[in-house]
Structure 1
Amino acid sequence: MLTGDRAAAWERRLYLAAHPVAYPLLRGIARRGPAVRVPGVGVVVNDAAAARAVLMDGETFRKDGPGSPAELWTPVLGPSVLLNMEGDAHRALRRRLADLFTPSYAAALCSRVLSAPLERLADRLARGAAVDLVDASRVMAGAVIGEVIGLDARDEAAYRALFERGERIVSMISLRTRRLSPPQVARARAVLDPLGDIAAASYAAGDETTVMGRMRALGLSPDEARGAAGAFFLTGTETVATLLPRLIALLADSGQLGRVAADPGGLLDRAVEEAMRAATPTPVMLRSVHRPAAVAGVAVRPGDRVLIATHNCCRALGPFDLDRPHPPELRRLWFGAGPHFCIGYPLAMAEIRLVARTLLAATPLRITRRAAARDVLIPTYRHLAVRSEGSAP
């Protein structure tokens, strides 16, 4: 099998393991045009330019109506967490949070928090041990998000436990989920409320070297800061933890791992962006229509649900290719666009860069075993073990 074919085959395997019914349907809808009305689903958008136009128009296509993310997250996180807001209130909160994760602050935070876990990872690779990148990525993601919410945790077991708390909530959701049932909301609140208490205590302490202290200094109310912490917890772990193993697998399967390792300063960010396009860590996005409009020629009316098939938009460019430029309409679409572009983007990139550089420094790497995860929201590996071929005997 050619290297490019191997990369595409494994990515397809991950999606089919995660969504054995929904994924073939999603890909089938992609062949029906840039936008198509699907009974029981809504208007599905398969074209990057049309998707970006929807995301940029926050007055027509909103996150706070029927079939939108608000129906899913408001019962769990409360009414004011960016994920479920629009209009003046959203713009005001977004302005106050604009300086929370500057690139320099995000890089410094990740460097400090990940120093010890990355040192242990590098040591294991240097000794020739097989390392499960799924587990390692969960540890890293748990460490960073623990720092964000103010959790006093300093060992890998605590980081894993924190990641697993978020996983218990995300596992309730599928591509077909519109809202959580009352028992599911109760289970989610049982996970989040103790973490919210920790975040609230960090906020009350007012230490501006902490993320929660920075929120207080930026003018967020206690409820807003607590809600933001919950939103960061839910959205800031799975994306990074699932992307890192897939990034290394895509580079290895496409024969590009050594090339990026030889020039991480010039190629790593490009590799990360292309891996995110191919993997699409946010397979779909939802919006609710608030006034009559059209999406790629399909008329929509108030109350309609718009499902942006981000994966279809991204896959239209072709399989993973480190040398393929991204057209403007596709640029970082997996992080959103317009008023809801992911505010945690600098933090995610800082974390991915640090972990990836540690792995690249251990090349040549060989994948020794892997398996796809089943019944998960974001397609990922159940395990992906690598060993450094250049390690000391």
Structure 2
Amino acid sequence: MKPGHPVTRRDRPRRRPVDWERRLYLTAHPFAYPLLRGLARRGPIVRVPGLGVVVNDASLAREVLMDGETFRKDGPGSPGDLWTPVLGPSVLLNMEGEAHRALRRRLTDLFVPSYTEALCDRVLEEPLGRLGDRLRRGETVDLVDAARVMAAAVISEVIGLDARTETAWRDLFEQGERVVSMVSLRTRRLSPSQVRRAREVLDPLGDIAEKAYLGDESTVMGRMRALGLSREEARGAAGAFFLTGTETVATFIPRLVALLHDHGRLEDAARDGALLGRAVEEAMRVTTPTPVMLRSVHRAVTVGGVAVRPGDRVLIATHNCCRAHGPFDPDRPHPPELRRLWFGAGPHFCIGYPLAMAQIRRVARTVLVAAPLEITERSAARGVLIPTYRRLAVRSVRAREGDAA
């Protein structure tokens, strides 16, 4: 460029695209997230005073998760401390040993793929039809709101609620969000007032779930009775499904679409079902819906060269384990140690995985039919446990061009 030559738009250096995933995490956890990522540079496993033993490596994380006798969810500093006061002592989130294995065996057939596929087909047919129609007409759609509606519709069916409108589903989602938002990456246990507020939300839902448990065996709650669960176990399971089954799906779907859009793969995924399947798994890795997992040590062992002792708190930095594999790339296979680590491993692998995936596939396919899409507005959510968009507005480019023609 000659001296004095005016700078044109073409001459200006291109700005780096915004890393929206990083922005989502920083907005949700402005202090904890930089600390979490900083710990990734300290090595595969490191003892941090006041925090515990932090695992940043996928192979070591899987080793810990597979050993349910040494690393447990029912000791000090584990998820049991957090959720037992709210959900009771008999839910999979806070159990170990033979009691956990017995309950899990009874629940194994609850969410078999054939049942979850049929459930999602039935429950989501109408709301997905409305979503698809809006996109085909070229309307701007907030995928955050749409994903919340879909997730709440399914969980409403699971726990036996008679909620049939989008307004009712939004209200149900907001109730769960009020409970989950009490937890941060640093939370060890809920305060008495937080426990009271959580139970004000969950107890009425438990009453409804218990009534469904006593009713038709074709429902999820009725099937729990047929599988041999007690009323208390069924109530606890309904509460756990409500808290974990809505947030994961609702936060993931907008992030999946945004990742495909930002990496120029939306139309590819719309045309290729196999690519969409890989993209869902890869987006799960990048977004890491469970960024941290906690365990309590019950016997002395050595992990990755670090000695851990009974009473130690182990913090599995799942997000660090997953992001070490690199940026979003649905064409790159996952190594064995990373496979679905974000849903856990071993005795506590997420029992609701088939239900979550059935919902995600249906909503994603409906949205991608309208591709190419443009994102007209987006913003990050504050005060949430799982990082997510506050709003992600999309519109079909094809529908807009058709209107212009």
User: TM-score, with normalisation over the residues of structure 1?
Assistant: 0.98
Residue 251 of structure 1 corresponds to which residue in structure 2? Answer: 260
Residue 43 of structure 1 corresponds to which residue in structure 2? Answer: 53
Q: Provide the secondary structure at the position in 2 that maps to 1:237.
A: helix
1: CA distance, partners of 2:238 / 2:383: 26
Cα 1:2/1:243, change in 2 over 3 Å: farther
1:258-290 CA-partner distances (Å, limit 9, x unpaired):
1111112x1121110000000001000000000
Choose from 334, 341, 360 the match for 2:368.
360
Cα 1:217/1:2, change in 2 over 3 Å: farther
Choose from 211, 223, 233 the match for 1:201.
211
Look up the equivalent residue of 1:124 and give its one-letter code.
R
- The Cα shift of 1:6 comes to 3.4
Q: How do 1:22-101 and structure 2 match up within 5 A? A: 22-101=32-111
**1:308 aligned to 2:316?**
yes
2: CA distance, partners of 1:309 / 1:272: 21
Choose from 153, 156, 174 the match for 1:146.
156
Q: Provide the secondary structure at the position in 2 that maps to 1:369.
A: strand
1:350-375 CA-partner distances (Å, limit 9, x unpaired):
00000000011111111000001112
Residue 234 of structure 2 corresponds to which residue in structure 1? Answer: 225
1:370-389 CA-partner distances (Å, limit 9, x unpaired):
00111211000000000011
Q: Provide the secondary structure at the position in 2 that maps to 1:6.
A: coil
- The Cα shift of 1:86 comes to 0.2
1:71-125 CA-partner distances (Å, limit 9, x unpaired):
0000000001000000000000000000000011001101100001000000110
1:314-334 CA-partner distances (Å, limit 9, x unpaired):
000001011111000000000
Q: Provide the secondary structure at the position in 1 that maps to 2:34.
A: helix
Choose from 366, 369, 383 the match for 1:375.
383
1:134-181 CA-partner distances (Å, limit 9, x unpaired):
000000000000000000011000000000010000110000000000
- The Cα shift of 1:390 comes to 1.3
Residue 289 of structure 1 corresponds to which residue in structure 2? Answer: 297
**1:188 aligned to 2:198?**
yes
Residue 337 of structure 1 corresponds to which residue in structure 2? Answer: 345
Q: Provide the secondary structure at the position in 1 that maps to 2:260.
A: helix
Residue 135 of structure 2 corresponds to which residue in structure 1? Answer: 125
Fraction of identical pairs, as percent: 78
Tell me, yes or no, if the aligned pair for 1:125 and 1:388 is still in contact at 8 Å.
yes
Look up the equivalent residue of 1:240 and give its one-letter code.
V
Gaps of 5+ in 1: none
2: CA distance, partners of 1:297 / 1:372: 39
Residue 164 of structure 1 corresponds to which residue in structure 2? Answer: 174
2: CA distance, partners of 1:41 / 1:167: 26
Gaps of 5+ in 2: 1-12
- The Cα shift of 1:2 comes to 8.7
Tell me, yes or no, if the aligned pair for 1:365 and 1:388 is still in contact at 8 Å.
yes
**1:18 aligned to 2:28?**
yes
2: CA distance, partners of 1:298 / 1:237: 37
1: CA distance, partners of 2:17 / 2:27: 16
Tell me, yes or no, if the aligned pair for 1:34 and 1:46 is still in contact at 8 Å.
yes
CA RMSD of aligned residues (A): 1.1
Q: Which structure 1 residue ranges, 4+ long, deviate > 6 Å from structure 2?
A: none
2: CA distance, partners of 1:203 / 1:284: 33
User: TM-score, with normalisation over the residues of structure 2?
Assistant: 0.95
2: CA distance, partners of 1:88 / 1:164: 35
**1:242 aligned to 2:251?**
yes
Look up the equivalent residue of 1:208 and give its one-letter code.
E
Residue 17 of structure 2 corresponds to which residue in structure 1? Answer: 6
Aligned length: 389
Look up the equivalent residue of 1:306 and give its one-letter code.
V
Residue 269 of structure 2 corresponds to which residue in structure 1? Answer: 260
Cα 1:2/1:388, change in 2 over 3 Å: farther
Look up the equivalent residue of 2:397 and give its one-letter code.
E
1: CA distance, partners of 2:46 / 2:117: 41
Q: Provide the secondary structure at the position in 1 that maps to 2:332.
A: coil
Tell me, yes or no, if the aligned pair for 1:6 and 1:254 is still in contact at 8 Å.
no
1: CA distance, partners of 2:340 / 2:226: 30
Q: Provide the secondary structure at the position in 2 that maps to 1:58.
A: coil
Cα 1:296/1:2, change in 2 over 3 Å: farther
